[in-house]
Amino acid sequence: MTRLMKFYAVLMIAFLPSLTTAAGSSAAGETNFPADEVATFANRVQNDLASRGVSVAIVARIGRDPAQIPDGIRYTHLGFFVYSTITLPDGSTGQGYRVYNLYQRGGEPTVSDLVQDSPAEFFAGAKRLDAGIIIPDPKLQRKLLGVINSPTYAALHNPRYAVLANPRSNQFQNSNEHVLNVLMAAIYNTGSLAQIKANITAYFDPQVVAITGLKRAFAPLASAALTTQDHGPVIATTTFGAVSRFMDSYDLTSQTYRITPTSVSRF
Amino acid sequence: MTLPILAILLLAGSAACTNAVQSADHSATAASYGSAAVGTSVATVVAVPLVVSGGALAISGTAIQDVGTGSLRAGSDVLVGQPAPQMTLAPNGAPTLH
């Protein structure tokens, strides 16, 4: 009976690609583009950030097939690009960006880890070479750097992963919600998760994701990471667009733009 | 016979399965090095975040062109009837850097 239910759940999910594809927060295993293409694009992004003197940026990638991402959502995964002194395995050092982000664990989809990787690794799992960039106000960049360098960064991680985690609750978390938590910690100079959630609830408008009740009910049978039990009647989650709108609303942003292999453009 | 095959294909495309990939041991990259490797070398990278001033970094400026994709305008409908979980504390004032 359980197997039958799971089978039907899979069929239901098949007709709801938007739910299964909203996350895209896995570390890269297989790349969708030749390695040199990914490397060139990753360098394009970090050279662009460096040319603007950026210390900390919020960068988004498209980790899922764009045709299957729900309306209103372009990017699926956020991370912090942090300008750093990097020591390579051979002992040589240089400056570049390291990516601080949360990845869904491969063998355990309901668990996540905080991972630091390179821009090339970050984009290796992308379905399109397309980066959404938010450059915070310089003052906010300094505050973000303070949080990322502190124990608060890890303390704001909840390893219970859900694709569509509700940012107003700490019951589950996805990569974008962790970025939002860190952002709020920096804005308000606090490591109090309760205070951060209160401020998110008051000031942050998450992205509404339209899902029918039947599909919502069946989704967790296909994967526990598709749970929506932390939501009320409306499912809403943290996205690049929602974070951009929030930061723009409160004058927290220096620049928001998009980088592709051939262009740099405003939204 | 068709249905089980369909189920397998769908499972393979589900979030759980498509995400079942492990972090690769890629080598690290520094912007100032001018190349980013997506190879498979084992990396032991130590990175220390830096505070930099804009003037200190002049690599390759890129002009911004206005094309307007509109993706930021989409979404964020009102949350009608949505409960406010974990609202155990009063919020602070609106976000500000001043």
Residue range B82-97: average pLDDT?
Answer: 75
Using alpha carbons, select from B57, B55, B50 the residue that is nearest to residue A51. Answer: B57
In the 8-state DSSP scheme, what is residue A156?
Answer: T
Q: Given A10, A38, A223, which is nearest B38 (Cβ)?
A: A38
Min Cα–Cα distance to chain A from B42, Å = 8
Pick from A45, A84, A92 the residue to mutate for testing the B interface (most B CBs within 10 Å).
Answer: A84
Domain boundaries of chain A, sorted by first residue: 2-266
Residue B42 has pLDDT above 70, yes or no: no
**Chain A hits for B90, Cβ within 8 Å:** 198
Give the count of beta carbons closer than 10 Å to the beta carbon of residue A36: 12
Structure tokens at B12: 């393979």
Q: Do B46 and A87 touch (CB under 8 A)?
A: yes
Q: Rounded to an integer, what is the distance from CA A72 to the centroid of its chain?
A: 15
If pLDDT is split at 50, 70 and 90, which confidence band does A69 have?
A: confident
Supply the pLDDT for residue B96: 95
Q: What percent of chain B shows pLDDT beyond 70?
A: 13
Which chain B positions have a beta carbon within 8 Å of A73's beta carbon?
74-75
Residue type, B53: S
Nearest residue in B to A33, CA atom:
B38
More confident residue, A88 or A137: A137
What spatial distance separates the first Cα and last Cα of chain B, rounded to whole Å?
Answer: 65
A27/B24 touch (CB, cutoff 8 Å), yes or no: yes
Of A13, A50, A242, Cβ closest to residue B10: A13
C-alpha dist (Å) from residue B53 to A39, A81, A181, B42, B50: 26, 16, 26, 32, 10
Distances (CA, A) of A12 to A8, A112, B44, B51: 6, 25, 43, 49
ipTM of the complex: 0.82
Residue where the block lists tokens 């303070």: A146
Task: Annotate B21-38 with DSSP letters as a single string.
Answer: -PPP-PPP-BGGGTB---
Lowest mean pLDDT among A71-85, A155-169, A241-255, B10-24: B10-24
DSSP one-letter string for B73-94: TS-----TT---TT--S---SS
C-alpha to C-alpha distance for A136 and A222, rounded to whole angstroms: 38
Single pTM value for the model:
0.75
Q: Determine the residue type at A147.
A: V
B60 interfacial to chain A (CB closer than 8 Å): yes
> What is the distance in angstroms between the Cα of B1 and the nearest Cα belonging to chain A?
14
DSSP A64-124: S-GGGSPTT----EEEEEEEEEEE-TTS-EEEEEEEEEEEE-SS-TTBEEEEEE-HHHHHH
| Pair A25, A240: CB distance under 8 Å | no
Q: What is the pLDDT of residues A92-105, one digit of tens each?
A: 888 889 999 999 99
Residues A46 and A121: beta-carbon distance below 8 Å: no
Angle at A73 between CA A259 and CA A53, to 5 degrees: 30
Residues of A (63-102) whose Cβ lies below 8 Å from B: 71-74, 82-89, 94-98
A115 contacts on B by Cβ (under 8 Å): 23
Residue A205 has pLDDT above 50, yes or no: yes
Residues of B in contact with A169 (CB under 8 A): 85-86
**Which residues on chain B are in Cβ contact (under 8 Å) with A144?**
none
Measured at the alpha carbon of residue A22, what is the angle toward residues A21 and A27, in degrees to the nearest 5? 80
Taking CB atoms and an 8 Å limit, are A51 and B19 in contact across chains? no
Q: Quick check: B86 contacting A, CB < 8 Å? A: yes
Q: What percent of chain A has pLDDT over 90?
A: 66
Q: How far apart are CA A126 and CA A24, in angstroms?
A: 8
At B44 the pLDDT is: 56
Within chain A, where are the H helices? Answer: 2-14, 17-20, 35-51, 119-124, 138-148, 151-155, 175-188, 193-203, 213-222, 240-249
Residue linked to tokens 């309901």 = A110
B47-84 pLDDT, tens digit each: 777 654 443 333 333 333 333 333 333 333 333 344 44
Contact list in A for residue B29 (CB cut-off 8 A) is: 39, 42-43, 46, 86, 96, 118-120
With bands split at pLDDT 50, 70 and 90, how would you rate the model's confidence at A58? very high
Q: How far is B98 from chain A (nearest CA, A)?
A: 9
- Report the C-alpha gap between A215 and B97 in whole angstroms: 42
Structure tokens belonging to residue B72: 């930021």
Per-residue pLDDT at A52: 93
Q: Does A254 touch chain B (CB under 8 A)?
A: no
Please report the number of interchain residue pairs, chain A to chain B, with beta-carbon separation below 8 angstroms.
Answer: 325
Mean pLDDT for chain A? 88
- Dist. CA A98–CA A212, nearest whole Å: 39
